[in-house]
């Protein structure tokens, strides 16, 4: 049982640590740099003050700027719990004074760790899940950059060539983006002609080159007016098209890295055997759970973390109101929801369950969430027992 509590308000360059005893008295308050030597010195000083007593460390960050802190404490076999910053923000209202400082926040973190019994120690994921978490974050950034570049490309193209902007879905048709790296104006497209454009697209490795060329020429013939924005806009569109293609290649490369790293994990085949889970969604599960989904006490605990366990909001005579919790892992919820939505289309058992929920009066989203909760129970049991998913067999009558 802990007798001392060390609260750390974590930051990028510096942390602030406050050590309190069972009465809430401050034994230490120190600002410490975010480097190994300073953190080790802090740890040794806290141990000296503890004089053999058990210490419980608590922080409001579980990654990012607190990564080195977590690594140092883990290397010295110290117990560290995580209290979300949102919880600290709301708890601060119950303490005296309206002022805010790193020292006060660290003291609140330590005091919350002293009073609460529902906190769980921070678990460092295995090496593969840590790598997947970084790779998935990078992929998300690249996909967002690509979407932003496509939206900007369409906006500029709309300024001077609206017919061509309306002719293609540039987020879905890569050949249309390739077209814009060379042919960006109505006059240029008319001058090149359908046959030459189709031949050039085929040389670039594009599918449906003839169809793409025909649509482009039709759009060019629909506009004979030269808009003022055309000269500068055409150069910007070509540059943005090259940016989009470069981001396409980067996304493809990092997805290959994710798949390669994912398949090295011991649970990869079990996850992929579950209908609805592909490499990316299964990688997100590993990244969010630290590589060991069975580290959670039960499937119900995992469902609570994933936001798939509704919580009651009853008051007075009003009862039976269930809502999604405010605190949950959005990455986990997204992975389970998308996998359930895919399984509802292609897996007979999941489709049957989904249709039964719709027949009960649930809307699409509610039915998919119910299916995701049911599938979470199955996946947790599969990983606990180390057995892949098996399609139920129908006995002949």
pTM recorded for the entire structure: 0.84
The Cβ of residue 88 has, within 10 Å, a number of other Cβ atoms equal to: 18
- Whether 53 is in a domain gets the answer yes
Domain count, the chain: 3
Residue 92 has what DSSP assignment?
Answer: G
Distances (CA, A) of 382 to 29, 68, 128, 296, 378: 47, 34, 20, 14, 6
Contacts of 167 (CB under 8 A, 6+ apart): 176, 215, 216, 218, 219
What mean pLDDT is reported for the chain? Answer: 92
Residue bearing tokens 């469902």: 303
Which CATH number characterizes residue 88's domain?
A: 3.30.420.40
- Whether 392 is in a domain gets the answer no
Distances (CA, A) of 372 to 63, 232, 285, 355: 27, 50, 13, 14
- Whether 35 is in a domain gets the answer yes
Question: Residue 394: what pLDDT?
Answer: 52
87, 207: one domain: no
Question: Residue 209: what pLDDT?
Answer: 94
- Whether 120 is in a domain gets the answer no
Which CATH number characterizes residue 255's domain?
A: 1.10.287.4070
Distances (CA, A) of 74 to 68, 122, 358: 10, 9, 48
pLDDT at 139 over 90: yes
Domain boundary, last residue among 260, 293, 320? 260
Contact predicate 16/103, CB 8 Å: yes
291, 372: one domain: yes
83, 149: one domain: no
149, 231: one domain: yes
- Whether 125 is in a domain gets the answer no
159, 224: one domain: yes
144, 183: one domain: yes
> What percentage of the chain reaches a pLDDT higher than 70?
99
Instruction: Give mean pLDDT, residues 33-56.
Output: 94
Domain boundary, last residue among 234, 260, 286? 260
Query: What is the per-residue pLDDT across 312-326, written as a single tens digit (0 to 9) for each?
Result: 777 777 777 777 777
- Whether 254 is in a domain gets the answer yes
Lowest mean pLDDT among 72-81, 181-190, 283-292, 325-334: 325-334
Question: Residue 324: what pLDDT?
Answer: 75
Q: Domain containing 43: what range?
A: 4-115
- Whether 397 is in a domain gets the answer no
Q: Please, which pLDDT band fits residue 283 given cuts at 50, 70 and 90?
A: very high
256, 273: one domain: no
- Whether 201 is in a domain gets the answer yes
Domain boundary, last residue among 87, 115, 143? 115
In 50-100, at which residue ranges do the beta strands (DSSP E only) sit?
55-59, 79-82
138, 83: one domain: no
C-alpha span between 185 and 197 (Å, rounded):
13
Q: Which residue has the higher pLDDT, 3 or 328?
A: 3
């Amino acid at each position: 049982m802990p007798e001392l509590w060390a609260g750390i308000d974590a930051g990028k360059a510096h942390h602030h640590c406050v050590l309190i005893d069972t009465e809430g008295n401050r034994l230490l308050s120190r600002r410490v740099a975010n480097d190994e030597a300073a953190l080790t010195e802090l740890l040794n000083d806290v141990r000296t003050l503890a004089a053999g007593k058990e210490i419980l460390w608590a922080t409001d960050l579980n990654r990012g700027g607190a990564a080195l802190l977590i690594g140092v404490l883990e290397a010295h076999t110290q117990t560290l719990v995580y209290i979300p910053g949102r919880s600290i923000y709301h708890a601060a209202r119950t303490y005296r004074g309206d002022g805010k400082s790193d020292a006060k926040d660290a003291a609140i973190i330590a005091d919350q760790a002293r009073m609460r019994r529902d906190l769980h120690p921070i678990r460092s994921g295995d090496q593969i899940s840590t790598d997947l978490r970084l790779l998935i974050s990078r992929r998300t950034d690249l996909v967002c950059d690509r979407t932003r570049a496509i939206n900007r490309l369409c906006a500029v193209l709309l300024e001077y060539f609206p017919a061509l902007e309306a002719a293609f879905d540039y987020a879905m048709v890569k050949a249309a983006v390739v077209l814009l790296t060379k042919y960006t104006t109505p006059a240029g497209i008319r001058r090149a002609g359908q046959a030459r454009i189709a031949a050039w697209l085929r040389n670039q490795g594009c599918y449906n080159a003839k169809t793409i060329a025909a649509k482009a020429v039709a759009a060019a013939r629909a506009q004979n007016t030269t808009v003022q924005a055309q000269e500068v806009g055409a150069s910007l569109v070509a540059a943005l098209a090259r940016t989009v293609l470069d981001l396409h290649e980067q996304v493809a490369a990092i997805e290959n890295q994710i798949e390669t790293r994912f398949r090295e994990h011991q649970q990869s085949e079990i996850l992929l055997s579950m209908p609805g889970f592909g490499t990316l969604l299964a990688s997100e599960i590993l990244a969010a759970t630290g590589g060991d989904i069975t580290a959670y006490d039960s499937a119900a605990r995992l469902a609570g973390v994933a936001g798939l366990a509704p919580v009651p909001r009853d008051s007075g005579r009003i009862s039976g109101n269930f809502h999604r919790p405010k605190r949950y892992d959005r990455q986990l919820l997204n992975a389970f929801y998308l996998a359930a939505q895919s399984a509802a289309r292609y897996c007979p058992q999941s489709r049957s369950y989904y249709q039964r929920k719709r027949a009960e009066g649930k809307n699409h989203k509610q039915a998919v969430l119910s299916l995701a909760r049911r599938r979470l129970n199955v996946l947790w049991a599969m990983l606990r027992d180390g057995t892949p998913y098996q399609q139920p067999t129908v006995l002949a009558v």
